[in-house]
Amino acid sequence: MSQEKTIRWGILGPGKIAYKFCSDLQQIQGNKITAVASRSMDRAKAFATEYAIPNSYSSYEELSQSTEVDIIYIATPHTYHCENAIMCLRNGNHVLCEKPMAINKKQIDEMITVAVENKCFLMEAIWSAFFPSIRKMNELIADGAIGNIKMIEADFGFMAPVDYSKRLYNADLAGGALLDIGIYPLFLAHLLKGRPKEIKAMTTMTETQVDGSTAISLSWDDGTLASLNTTIFADSPTTAKISGPKGYIVLHRRWHEAREISLYNKGGLVNTWTYKDDCFGYRYEIEEVQQCLIKGKIESSVLTHKFSQSLMSSMDSTREQIGLKYPFE
């Protein structure tokens, strides 16, 4: 794909996240939303009207077979990600798939195999990886600002309304805190240290037998430890702290989309960096996808296929530890 060609996007699943995603997408030159699909034509047309999208479809299959798109953004519930992505990839579409990319590593392996076979781009949409604050964190660590990492602390929690009919409390829809938001603390640990040597986890289950609160401890061969927490039972600080012998870095609330990052040493605060923008934050991952497609890549060098496999392996191990298995597995 040449630098001059406009990348044509299809939206599969016009939900809440897709609205924010498209608002950011429209700000980036060289990208255009050309199609949207929903199982409800009324919903597809309403979304199309909102963003002046020329093509609306009442089935995901129609979108996957459309000649009007180059890449499809999948924003359906995560129980459908694997089948939706594979359908799109087999029809020759590049895919950006919302996190978690699938329910387990077996599904992710299958998705990657199909992407490679069809020479199509595939990336898990963990938007945090591309935020300026996360990039600054990586830069500070690479420059030795805190020395070798010794401890990682991160949490993500909010008080979800107790509604057993909704996805978060529904085991049939892979509900619970871990896959929905616990993926973020695990993502950070993997980004900083890679796959851990050991995982230990404990949980408090909901009445519907999905995880409500989960605490995860990780360790690596070099002695680094991580303490990660996620919950849908309480509003947590949602901050992250990375510590070493020279000092520590704080990603301020809400750290997974942090607009502010601080560096501390033994003398106290060294500096705080603040990032202000006029977008929701999805533009950074969109820009990464754009550059990958221009260069003809089938995976990002930041969020590789191997990274998604490793991250999901840790989530699988965590679920095994806490005894969480979904009915359809």
- What's the pLDDT score for residue 165? 83
Residue span(s) of the chain under CATH 3.40.50.720 come to 7-126
Other C-beta atoms closer than 10 Å to the C-beta of 194 total 12
Q: Is 70 exceeded by the pLDDT of residue 206?
A: yes
| CATH architecture, domain defined by 129-280+312-322 | 2-Layer Sandwich (3.30)
Is the pLDDT at 1 greater than 90? The verdict is: no
* Residue 254 preceded by cis peptide, ω within 30: yes
Q: Which of the listed CATH numbers 3.20.20.10, 3.40.50.720, 3.40.50.2300, 3.40.605.10 matches domain 7-126?
A: 3.40.50.720
- pLDDT at 4 > cutoff 90: no
55: left (phi over 0), alpha (psi -120 to 50) or beta: beta
3-class secondary-structure state, position 146: coil
CB half-sphere exposure, 72, CA atoms < 13 A: 32
What sign results for the dihedral spanned by CA atoms 111, 116, 120, 123? positive
Question: Whole-angstrom Cα distance, residue 166 to residue 20?
Answer: 21
Inform me whether the pLDDT recorded for 16 exceeds 70: yes
In contact, 201 and 214? CB cutoff 8 Å:
yes
Q: Mean pLDDT over all residues of the chain?
A: 97
Whole-angstrom Cα distance, residue 56 to residue 65? 13
pTM for the complete prediction?
A: 0.96
Confidence of residue 140 (pLDDT cuts 50, 70, 90): very high
Q: 277-323, pLDDT tens digit by residue? A: 899 999 999 999 999 999 999 999 999 999 999 999 999 999 999 99
- Mean pLDDT on 144-156: 98
Through-space distance between the first and last CA atoms of the chain, rounded to whole angstroms: 39
111 pLDDT exceeds 90? Answer: yes
What whole-number percentage of the chain has pLDDT above 90? 96
What is the mean predicted confidence (pLDDT) over 164-187?
A: 95
Residues of the chain with CATH 3.30.360.10: 129-280+312-322
Please give the share of the chain, as a percent, with pLDDT higher than 70: 99
Q: Model confidence over 251-278: pLDDT tens digits? A: 999 999 999 999 999 999 999 999 998 9
* Confidence check: pLDDT of 3 > 80: no
What's the whole-number mean pLDDT along residues 152-170? 94
Listed in sequence order, the DSSP H helices in the chain are 16-25, 41-51, 60-64, 81-90, 105-117, 132-142, 177, 183-193, 283-294, 305-322
